[in-house]
Amino acid sequence: MPLNYVKISEKYRPTKINTLLIGEAPPPCGTKYFYLPQKLKTNIAIRQDRSLPATIFWHYFHQRPQDEKEYIVLLNSLKDAGIFLVDIMDEPIRIRGNKENEERLVNELPFFRSKLEMRGINVPEEDMIFLLARNTYKQYIRKHFKYAPLIPWIEYRLNTEEMITKKYGLDAKFNRCGYDKQAYNLVDYIKKLTDFTVVSNMNDNYNHMGATITDAVLQAGITYETVVKPRVKHLMNKYPSAKTTHEFWLLLQEIGPVSLLNFNGNKGQRILEVTKFFDEHNIQTEENLYCWLSNNKNAEKLLSIKGIGDKTVDYFKILVGIKTSAIDRHLYGFLEKAGVKSSDYSTAQKIVNDAADILRVDKALFDHSIWKYMSQRQMSKMKSQCF
């Protein structure tokens, strides 16, 4: 049965399209498509990787998905940024080396705008980008689309947004990725810091849901190294069997959160509520939690638990490997030092995440780098006050 390419792509269509990427046609095999998650080849240099997914993902995120789950996360990131891909033809045909099919493609161009309108896609030419796998029909595109940029795949794949903007004479103020303008100010500030470095890696997830829940719930407003970290380590070492949510729930029922974690206060009750919530939703492992939190509607459900805010939800995401940032007092302080104003949590997070994309670094690593930078400065200040 032929794939319904339009229906498949609609799942990842942004509410507002900031950039409309335009390709030729779906792959000729008829079984693959950009919006069908797949594992990409990562054992070849990006210059030689001529696939459309590699071209788009490397341009925007400087990475190729390692598996289908990561592919879905990147598709959702494109959706969140208002970036959408359509093809001139909805039929899987081979263009390369086939003059007849290339002529069919050219003949579709006069009707392409009408086809977009039928789908409810009304995007000005300045917001379109034709991604060219070949240059043989550029003049025909230009005949019908005078202002849309025409960019070869390899150039789009290997160049950053800033380089593309300069090379193709686009308005430098036009933000094709939808980045917050203050993200550029944050990047400029970071580049001037001589002692700021982006960490190259973070610890892998715990593979222990008891540890993950404990870490995420306890960390807010508490010294991590001396309070949170030792309790998480103790829990993992003494109760390795509590690696699933249900086993951790049974342990909490048997011992109680205060005795189990040697921690007083209302966070013990919060750990109980979060564990019960995950258990009732059959979220038993970090892998389950990764998939569940990848759906923003699910993430919002966590907020119904008293004491769980946006930052804790995003911190859960980081713990299970989702690439994002969790805005805490350290990150707010860093933004303030950079002279960057943020009116609320979502604005601050967009600025930080956009800056990570501009710098072509992992969002979670960028978050941790800022947190570590500010923590070390705070520690140095506290030590100096002791003398």
* pLDDT for the residue numbered 177: 55
Q: What is the pTM of this model?
A: 0.58
Rounded alpha-carbon distances, angstroms, from residue 310 to 304, 305, 337: 11, 11, 23
Element at 23 (helix H, strand E): strand 19-23
β-bridge pairing 83-87 and 19-23 = parallel
Which band of pLDDT confidence, cut at 50, 70 and 90, is reported for residue 173?
very low
DSSP summary character for residue 125:
G
Residues in CB range of 385: below 8 A, 6 or more apart = none
Token representation of residue 149: 């940029």
Which band of pLDDT confidence, cut at 50, 70 and 90, is reported for residue 174?
very low
Write the Ramachandran bin of 290: left for phi over 0, alpha for psi from -120 to 50, otherwise beta. alpha
pLDDT tens column, 266-277: 899 999 999 999
CB 27 within 8 A of CB 2: no
* pLDDT for the residue numbered 4: 94
> Looking at 14-18, 46-50, 290-294, which range is the least confident one?
46-50
Q: Alpha-carbon distance 148 to 176, whole Å?
A: 12
CB 319 within 8 A of CB 215: yes
pLDDT cut 70: percent of the chain above it: 92
For the CA atoms of 305, 317, 283, 73, the dihedral, rounded to the nearest 10 degrees, stands at 130
Which residue, chain included where needed, has tokens 């994309």? 357
> Looking at 14-23, 149-158, 326-335, which range is the least confident one?
149-158
